[in-house]
Structure 1
Amino acid sequence: MRPAELPARPGQAAEEPVAGDETSGLHHEVVELARALPGPLRRLTVRSGDRAVEVEWAADAVPAAAAPAPVPGGLQAVAAPSGPAAVPEPAGEEPEVPEGTIAVRAPLVGTFYAAPSPGAEPFVRVGDEVEAGQTLGIVEAMKLMNPIVADAAGAVAEIRVGDAESVEYDQVLVLLRPSGGPR
């Protein structure tokens, strides 16, 4: 749902933003920034306190000479590091999903947790048999714990992320070998 589709609050106009509304101005500036930046974005983080913006491009998406565009309102774009200090990216776009396995993917960006609490036993281990709907892990996003469940029954063939590791949308988290399939 877009902000324009939300019902108006009592005493507020439905179409027009409130004069001096910081949130609507920041929203407008972020949209302008995203449109002005070169190449496909991997991540765009906005903080309202002291108005900072962090921008991360997909690997090999930004030409060497590209620089962040200035944005009205004093927002500042900070590109992700691209030298030896940068976090190494995997060689391919996404590791291949082996034939005969089912990929369980991250439904959102967040932090993956293999256990319900620190020090507890993990939800599953490689080799465990799981049922459809069984919890395989948790992705925490914005202080909300989102269960990651098996789409089908099978055995856990591989867990591709570590505990407390950041995950991206649609990243393969776990590979399942369907029940009755080759081992």
Structure 2
Amino acid sequence: MAPIPFEPGAIRMLAKLMNETGLTEIELAEKDRRIRVVRGSAQAPMQQVIVPNAVPHAAVAAPATIPAVDPGAVLSPMVGVAYLTPEPNAPTFIDVGARVDAGQTLLLIEAMKTFNPITAPKAGTVTKILIESGDSVDQGQPLVVIG
């Protein structure tokens, strides 16, 4: 089988899409051609830290606690770019203090050129909007708080 020639433009396009969406791996397949781009994470070299025995236990800082997620937080189901409006120059879907119904669209997340509506899981009042329109978001990231 002859090697499949690759197109540098296609690889650049996939790498750009990965940067825009926060993906770490993407694959494009067409007939007998396949391009797979994987972003590796460079790990920082390990450092050894020696703590002298003379340091009293009380002087050692306690590890940082992980902040609890607000029980009314709506989390991002995917990696993508969040938009608070249906299109540029349109009014936002929601504002702080707005009353929302279960199933109402709160915002959109664009992932791989598809706009995915993020809806309210319950009725309530929007108490916080934790992102700006155009922000990149990660899966599990709090977006909005409904009280």
Q: Is this contact kept in 2: 1:116–1:123, CA < 8 A?
A: yes
TM-score normalised by structure 1 residue count? 0.50
Q: Is this contact kept in 1: 2:81–2:136, CA < 8 A?
A: yes
In the alignment, what sits opposite 2:106?
136
In the alignment, what sits opposite 1:105?
75
Consecutive unaligned residues of structure 1, counting only runs of 5 or more, are 1-17, 23-41, 66-91, 178-183
Q: Is this contact kept in 2: 1:111–1:167, CA < 8 A?
A: yes
Query: How many correspondences in the alignment?
Result: 110
Q: Offset at 1:133? A: 0.2
In the alignment, what sits opposite 2:135?
165
Q: Which amino acid aligns with 2:24?
A: L
Q: Which amino acid aligns with 2:68?
A: E
Q: Offset at 1:64? A: 1.9
In the alignment, what sits opposite 1:176?
146
Residue 55 in structure 1 maps to residue 40 in structure 2: yes
Name which structure has the greater RCO, CA cutoff 8 Å, separation 6+: 2
Query: How well do the aligned residues superpose, as a CA RMSD in angstroms?
Result: 3.4
- 1:96–1:131 CA distance, 2 compared to 1 (3 A): same
The whole-number CA distance in structure 2 between the counterparts of 1:47 and 1:94 is 34
Q: Is this contact kept in 2: 1:155–1:176, CA < 8 A?
A: yes
Q: 2:24 aligns with which of 32, 44, 49?
A: 44
| Pairing 1:81-100 to 2, within 5 Å after superposition | 95-98=67-70
The whole-number CA distance in structure 2 between the counterparts of 1:63 and 1:145 is 35
| Pairing 1:73-84 to 2, within 5 Å after superposition | none
Give the secondary-structure state (helix, strand or coil) at the position aligned to 1:55. Answer: coil
The whole-number CA distance in structure 2 between the counterparts of 1:43 and 1:64 is 24
Identity %: 37
- 1:46–1:173 CA distance, 2 compared to 1 (3 A): same
In the alignment, what sits opposite 2:51?
none
- 1:45–1:163 CA distance, 2 compared to 1 (3 A): same
Consecutive unaligned residues of structure 2, counting only runs of 5 or more, are 6-21, 29-33, 47-63
Q: Is this contact kept in 1: 2:86–2:93, CA < 8 A?
A: yes
The whole-number CA distance in structure 2 between the counterparts of 1:128 and 1:157 is 8
Structure ID, larger Rg: 2
